[in-house]
């Protein structure tokens, strides 16, 4: 099971050893195990973790090897770590303080070429604050601009999303080229929605790898009419070839249909729709095109003229139609409160989604949509050991994790917030000395 080679490579990187130094052999026994693989739920199940991987998952008869630490999960629920497909974790510390915001460009010479993950901050307390609630993987996104900045990038291409794990350390970025993001509403295309599509198509066409371009179109190296730099073209070329998905924010049903039509010309392109408030109206078309969506299911107000048909029933209708979808927290902050996604999934369940689909939408589905399901997203032998033991139904609002493992390491359930709480939980302690001495 363990091999020397498997550990040698990580040990050569100092930062990685921080994670693996604490990884141990653990057996979680007695819980209800939601494997998220083919809907299999195992009562009184066993999950065995060795090093950074899941060694075995099975029923109560599964043998626990000698020397493994045993966690009794009787009466508890065991799930994979949660994954959010829309966060700003590590890309901002305080949303309104521009100097701490690293997800948005202004006056830039490139757009789609910008990889936000290169600015990821592994030291932010936001990581621990989210992971103690069960979030272990996250897509980190380009943002909508720096607050109070008049010079924000107005391109429809704000940059590329990345993927992180929340285990800490300097190797947290799993993939810095997870998707090219499109925010059509902020495009500098003249203000008319129809032109956004022209701009997008133009940028994709002129970024096609040379063999696929028509004779006479512009060279791939220089700036194009739409793709501003070689970096932009390189990124968009990967979109055209299907190597990297195009992740487009779109709420309006008719505009989603127009995006689906792009697949006729760019047949290798993998499209993901973000927002998708009105996706339920075009659910059958999404299924036919094989395009997944990422929704904030509690966003049920007609907050813009593009999302007039937003409703709490969106998730349930998508499930009924067979659309593949992931759920993200619809709340206030994509960095600080990415952790709230189980509540959003729970609300979707309260409004007609099946419970199983609710949990899939925050575990295996985002893993599949963003192509990391070979190593994450289900409790399956051989996958990385992101495992959460919950004190009850993970989608409920009054439950929380008792144990969180990320790549085999058990995370201490402590954050800057729990430390503030512990400092102030007894104000009477100030009779002895100021609370600033309580650490």
Partner 1 sequence: MTRLRGLLLGASALAIMVAAPATFGQEGEGRAAHSSSYKPMASSPTMITNVNIYDGRGGLIEGGSIIMAGGDIVAVGQNLEAEAGMVIIDGDGQWLTPGIIDVHSHFGVYASPQVKAHADGNEITGANTAEVWAEHGVWPQDPGFARAQAAGVTALQILPGSANLIGGRGVTLKNVPARTVQAMKFPGAPHGVKFACGENPKRVYGQKGQSPFTRMGNVAGYRAAWAKATEYKRSWDQYNEKVSAGEDATPPTRDLQMDTLMGVLNGEILIQNHCYRADDMANIIEVSKEFGFKISAFHHAVESYKIADILAENDICSAMWADWWGFKMEALDGIRENAALVHNAGACAVIHSDSGIGIQRLNQEAAKTVADARKAGLDIPLAEAWSWVSYNAAKALGIEDQTGSLEVGKDADVVLWTANPFSVYARADKVFIDGALVYDMNDEATHAVSDFRLGFPGEGDDR
Please state the closest distance from residue 127 (CB atom) to partner 1, in A: 12
Binding of partner 1 by 25 (CB under 8 A): no
Of 54 and 164, nearer to partner 1 (C-beta) is 164
- Lay out the site mask for partner 1 across 357-396 (x = CB under 8 A, - = otherwise): --------------------------------------xx
Binding of partner 1 by 398 (CB under 8 A): yes
Q: Which of residues 221-250 bind partner 1 (CB under 8 A)?
A: 249
Please state the closest distance from residue 51 (CB atom) to partner 1, in A: 29
Please state the closest distance from residue 205 (CB atom) to partner 1, in A: 25
Q: Can you point out the beta strands (E) in 281-376?
A: 293-295, 325-327
Element at 302 (helix H, strand E): none
Q: Which listed residue (278, 386, 409, 410) binds partner 1 by CB under 8 A?
A: 278
Pick the piece of the chain touching partner 1 (CB under 8 A) from 36-44, 200-208, 342-350, 404-412: 342-350
Q: Strands 271-275, 246-250: parallel, antiparallel or unpaired by DSSP?
A: parallel
Pick the piece of the chain touching partner 1 (CB under 8 A) from 10-18, 114-122, 182-190, 285-293: 182-190
Residue 321, judged by CB atoms within 10 A of its CB (0-12, 13-18, 19+), counts as middle
Pick the piece of the chain touching partner 1 (CB under 8 A) from 33-41, 69-77, 226-234, 397-405: 397-405
Element at 343 (helix H, strand E): helix 341-350
Q: Which listed residue (50, 229, 270, 343) binds partner 1 by CB under 8 A?
A: 343
Pick the piece of the chain touching partner 1 (CB under 8 A) from 214-222, 232-240, 376-384, 398-406: 398-406
The token pair that represents 115 in the structure block:
């990889």
3-class secondary structure, 55: strand
Q: Which of residues 129-168 bind partner 1 (CB under 8 A)?
A: 143-145, 147-148
The neighbour count for residue 143, using CB atoms within 10 Å, is 25
- As a whole number of angstroms, the distance between CA 222 and CA 291 comes to 32
Binding of partner 1 by 102 (CB under 8 A): no
Query: CA neighbours within 13 Å on the CB side: how many for 9?
Result: 4
Q: Give the CA angle between residues 234, 365, 93 to the nearest 5°.
A: 65
Give the binding-site size for partner 1 (rule: CB under 8 A).
Answer: 66
- As a whole number of angstroms, the distance between CA 114 and CA 118 comes to 9
Q: Can you point out the beta strands (E) in 251-292?
A: 271-275
Closest CA to 136 of 352, 397, 417, 372: 372
Return the bridge partners of 68, or none: none
Binding of partner 1 by 84 (CB under 8 A): no
Q: Strands 69-72, 53-58: parallel, antiparallel or unpaired by DSSP?
A: unpaired
Of 231 and 396, nearer to partner 1 (C-beta) is 396
Binding of partner 1 by 310 (CB under 8 A): yes
Binding of partner 1 by 12 (CB under 8 A): no
- As a whole number of angstroms, the distance between CA 333 and CA 89 comes to 10
Provide the Cα torsion 42, 44, 46, 47; round to 10°: 60
- Residues binding partner 1 (CB under 8 A): 93-97, 126, 143-145, 147-148, 183-186, 249, 251, 253, 275, 278, 281, 298-313, 330-337, 340, 343, 346-347, 349-351, 395-400, 417-418, 420-422, 424-425, 427
């Amino acid at each position: 099971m363990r091999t020397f080679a498997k550990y040698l490579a990580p040990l050569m990187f100092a930062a990685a050893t921080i994670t693996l130094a604490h990884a141990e052999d653990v057996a979680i026994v007695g819980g209800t195990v939601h494997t998220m693989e083919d809907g299999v739920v195992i009562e009184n199940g066993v999950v065995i973790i060795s090093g950074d991987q899941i060694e075995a998952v099975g029923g109560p008869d599964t043998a626990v090897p000698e020397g493994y630490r045993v966690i009794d999960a009787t009466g508890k629920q065991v799930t994979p770590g949660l994954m959010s497909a829309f966060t700003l974790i590590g890309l901002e510390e305080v949303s309104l303080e521009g100097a701490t915001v690293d997800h948005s460009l202004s006056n830039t010479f490139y757009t789609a070429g910008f990889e936000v993950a290169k600015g990821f901050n592994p030291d932010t307390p936001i990581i621990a604050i989210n992971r103690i609630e069960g979030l272990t993987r996250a897509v980190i996104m380009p943002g909508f601009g720096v607050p109070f900045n008049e010079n924000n990038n107005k391109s429809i291409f704000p940059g590329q999303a990345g993927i992180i794990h929340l285990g800490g350390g300097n190797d947290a970025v799993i993939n810095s080229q997870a998707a090219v993001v499109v925010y059509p509403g902020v495009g500098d295309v003249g203000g008319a929605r129809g032109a956004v599509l022209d701009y997008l198509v133009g940028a994709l066409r002129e970024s096609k790898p040379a063999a696929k371009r028509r004779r006479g179109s512009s060279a791939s190296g220089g700036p194009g009419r739409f793709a501003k730099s070689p970096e932009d073209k390189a990124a968009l070329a990967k979109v055209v070839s299907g190597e990297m998905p195009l992740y487009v924010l779109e709420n309006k049903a008719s505009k989603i249909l127009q995006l689906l039509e792009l697949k006729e010309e760019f047949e290798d392109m993998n499209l993901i729709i973000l927002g998708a408030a009105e996706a339920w109206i075009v659910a059958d078309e999404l299924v036919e095109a094989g395009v997944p969506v990422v929704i904030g299911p509690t966003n049920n107000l007609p907050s813009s003229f593009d999302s007039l048909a937003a409703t709490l029933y969106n998730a349930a209708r998508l499930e009924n139609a067979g659309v593949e979808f992931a759920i993200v927290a619809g709340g206030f902050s994509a960095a600080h409160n990415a952790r709230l996604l189980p509540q959003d999934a729970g609300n979707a369940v309260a409004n007609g989604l099946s419970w199983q689909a609710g949990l899939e939408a925050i575990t295996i589905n985002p893993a599949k949509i963003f192509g990391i399901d070979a190593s994450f997203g289900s409790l399956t032998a051989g996958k990385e050991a992101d495992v959460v033991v919950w004190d009850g139904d993970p989608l409920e609002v009054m439950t929380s994790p008792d144990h969180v493992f990320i790549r085999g390491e058990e995370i201490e359930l402590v954050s800057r917030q729990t430390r503030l709480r512990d400092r102030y939980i007894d104000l009477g302690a100030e009779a002895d000395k100021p609370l600033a001495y309580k650490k």
